[in-house]
Amino acid sequence: MQITITARHFDLADAHKHHAEQEIKRLGRYFDHILSTDLTLIHEKYRYTVEMTMQVDGAVLTSKEEAADVYAAIDQAAVKMERQLKKYKDKLQNHRVKRNALAETIPTEPSPE
């Protein structure tokens, strides 16, 4: 998984970068096919905005959160992305189940009548 972290309007400390990487890597246990992640940290006056874009097989998932603390903003964006990954994985699994169930109900050979 490729991780890109960008900071706008402030200098990114190593502690912030390490925390963000840990949160992104933690998301890997919910979905195995994450191709890349782009994380943008923006500082405006008194708040931090975190924009997370994750490219997975067949989709692009995004989350955006604001908070007064950079750690809180990263954590909130990760929680939102976690929900999206779980929902996307569940959608893929349910689609496969429906397709297999449909294939079992459709007769493969026409009945002789």
What 76-82 contacts at long range (C-beta under 8 Å, 24+ apart), as own/partner pairs, is 76/50, 77/39, 77/50, 77/51, 77/52, 78/23, 78/24, 78/26, 78/27, 78/52, 80/52, 81/27, 81/52, 81/54, 82/27, 82/30
pLDDT tens digits for 41-93?
999 999 999 999 999 988 999 999 999 999 999 999 999 999 999 999 998 88
pTM of the model: 0.82
For the chain, domains (ranges, CATH) are 2-105 (3.30.160.100)
